[in-house]
Amino acid sequence: MDAALRGTVALVTGASSGIGAATAEALADRGAAVALVARRAERLDELSGRLRDAGATALVIAADMTDETQVREAVERTVNELGRLDTLVNNAGLMILGRAADAGTDEWRRMTDINLTGLMNTTHAALPHLIAAAADGDRRVADIVNVSSVAGRLAVATAAGYCATKYGVVAFSEALRQETAAQHVRVSVVEPGAVDTELREHNSPEVQEQLTRLFGSIERLEARDVADTIGYIVSRPRHVAVSELLVRPTEQV
């Protein structure tokens, strides 16, 4: 465990698996106390146990990111029980693919509620605490890292709804960065390419087969690769801000 984030507190959404779980481990390994937020409490308990066994501090908060009240309560519990909030990683996400003409608008609504509205609500609740941390913390800086996607830079057929949410994350992140830069609350957006996680499992078998044909021949990123990227961003010196970072498998074109 290194000491880059010692004395800080991070909140990670979507922490029950994939990039979220790996990010919680990466931040804890750098010395941060970590609030683990997701719906699947049993998964969070397992992760929390591993972190505590390694000497880290972890707080489990079961919450639905589409429920603004639960989101705000998660932020307040983090601050009340861990003492502060220095880093917010908005990672919770949903990807449902398919042609727009065949899509159910309820699927678009679910993706918007989780990928964009939930991210915005979490950020809104966390901002006062992050501003306070940047003003009085030893590091004198705080971080918001929003996990978008390559689909937030390049729109593709069969991903219209998903792309719309991820483009929204990029736009929200950049506008917020401009608002908070003078207060040393850094806002970063990370845009992963193909990652070997559970994200694709929300799709129909037909869509999953298409994804396998599209990406099956390349070596996809692992969750820890993206987590390492996030760990790098938030451990930079106060005067260094990584505003946007695109990370793809070497073979992905």
Question: Measured between alpha carbons, how far is 109 from 164 in angstroms, rounded to an integer?
Answer: 11
Give yes or no: 167 in active site: no
DSSP at 190: E
- What is the token pair recorded at 158? 């069969």
Give the neighbor-by-neighbor strand order of the sheet with 185-192: 58-62, 33-38, 9-13, 87-90, 142-147, 185-192, 244-247
DSSP-derived pairing of the beta strands 185-192 and 87-90: unpaired
Q: Which of 246, 34, 14 is nearest to 114 (CA)?
A: 14
pTM: 0.93
CA distances from 134 to 58, 124, 155, 184 (A): 22, 16, 35, 6
pLDDT of residue 98: 86
User: Where do the structural domains in the chain lie, given as residue ranges?
Assistant: 9-247
Helices (H), the chain: 18-29, 41-53, 68-82, 105-111, 119-136, 160-180, 205-215, 223-234
pLDDT of residue 235: 98
Q: List the pLDDT tens digit at each of the 253 positions of the chain.
A: 578 999 999 999 999 999 999 999 999 999 999 999 999 999 999 999 999 999 999 999 999 999 999 999 999 999 999 999 999 999 999 998 888 998 889 999 999 999 999 999 999 999 999 999 999 999 999 999 999 999 999 999 999 999 999 999 999 999 999 999 999 999 999 999 999 866 666 656 666 666 666 666 789 999 999 999 999 999 999 999 999 999 999 998 8
Q: Which of 93, 115, 162, 193 is catalytic?
A: 162
Where does 9-247 sit in CATH, by number? 3.40.50.720
pLDDT of residue 202: 65
Inter-axis angle of helices 223-234 and 18-29, nearest 10:
40
Question: Measured between alpha carbons, how far is 55 from 89 in angstroms, rounded to an integer?
Answer: 21
Question: Measured between alpha carbons, how far is 230 from 87 in angstroms, rounded to an integer?
Answer: 11
Question: Measured between alpha carbons, how far is 48 from 35 in angstroms, rounded to an integer?
Answer: 9
pLDDT of residue 210: 67
Q: Which of 143, 232, 250 is nearest to 186 (CA)?
A: 143
pLDDT of residue 198: 64
pLDDT of residue 103: 85
Q: What is the secondary structure of 117-143 as a DSSP string?
A: IIHHHHHHHHHHHHHHHHHHSSS--EE
